[in-house]
Amino acid sequence: MSTHPYDELGPATILDAVESVGLAVDGRQLALNSYENRVYQVGLDAAEPVIVKFYRPGRWSEQAIREEHEFSLELARHEVPVVPPMTLGGRTLHEFAGFRFAVYPRRGGRPPELDVPDVREWIGRFLGRLHAVGEVVPFRYRERMDPARLAATRDWLVTGGWIPDYLRAAYDSVTDDLITLVGAAWERAGAPRFLRLHGDCHPGNILWTDAGPHFVDLDDAVAGPAVQDLWMLLSGDRGEMAMQLSDVIAGYEDFRDFDRRELHLVEALRTMRLVRFSGWLAQRWSDPAFPAAFPWFGERRFWEEHLLALREQAAALEEPPLSV
């Protein structure tokens, strides 16, 4: 018996799905690096290959997926460099053999050189434009990036028995502290305004060409504070991150003001992502792709190192925010 929905997504089903929306395939397909969804490059007759994303069954509602598509199309209409889904047969979201899927044009690029100040400022300008569009109307069906996510994920991991018994007391203690500290950081940020965001704006989701950057993969588009799309561009020690953030904000504010109070949320959002990542791995552990890609997750050493990282985050949350 099938143990996972993607067991039914074989090569023939992939090609048949693409042909069902009126595209003539040439039989070539290449699996791309994706875990949450399944993504393939599919060759076409007498045309450039396309990228096809099969959404993980049960993750998003149809309304949430359509809202993501509408946001990306809106950004494209305002000439914000994103890669929106193709409209085929009057639709961007399709269904075949029980799978929802979307087709995208193939767009290449290289990772951005984030050690170059001009590159950071350029990305900041595009993020400012993205957020200027994102603040016009709210999301109705996408998730919200708020502190409640941290407690919900922690509780799910604990009740699911994922934390080793010998670490349970320490884990409970540090995550209790983190929930308090993250909540306090949110209060210091002064009830930040929630926008429609990219949501997962790390360097891997930014591709660079001679024409500049473009954003890909809005699958994690979320409602949240603007700084959520900025902090994942930062790396290094506090001084280095402050300098990097100054460049990003300099470009950002060419198109939209940035509320400096949101700097209180940088370490809070990093903490939330750290805990949510472990929860994501646990939730997806029945998918055969996950044990193969993350074999260390099932080991005691992972949870020991994770606990250490959480303690470091507790210390970081006690420090003043970055100054720019």
DSSP state, 204? G
Structure tokens given for 44: 């076409």
Active site residue 177: no
Query: Which SS3 state, helix, strand or coil, does residue 40 take?
Result: strand
Cβ contacts of 218 within 8 Å, gap of 6 or more: 68, 71, 72, 82, 198, 199
Query: Which SS3 state, helix, strand or coil, does residue 120 take?
Result: helix
45, 172, 210, 217: which one is catalytic?
217
Structure tokens given for 21: 């929306």
Helices in the chain by DSSP H: which ranges? 11-19, 62-77, 117-134, 148-159, 168-188, 238-252, 266-283, 289-293, 300-317
Query: Which SS3 state, helix, strand or coil, does residue 74 take?
Result: helix
115, 200, 219, 220: which one is catalytic?
200
Active site residue 200: yes
Just list the catalytic residues.
200, 217
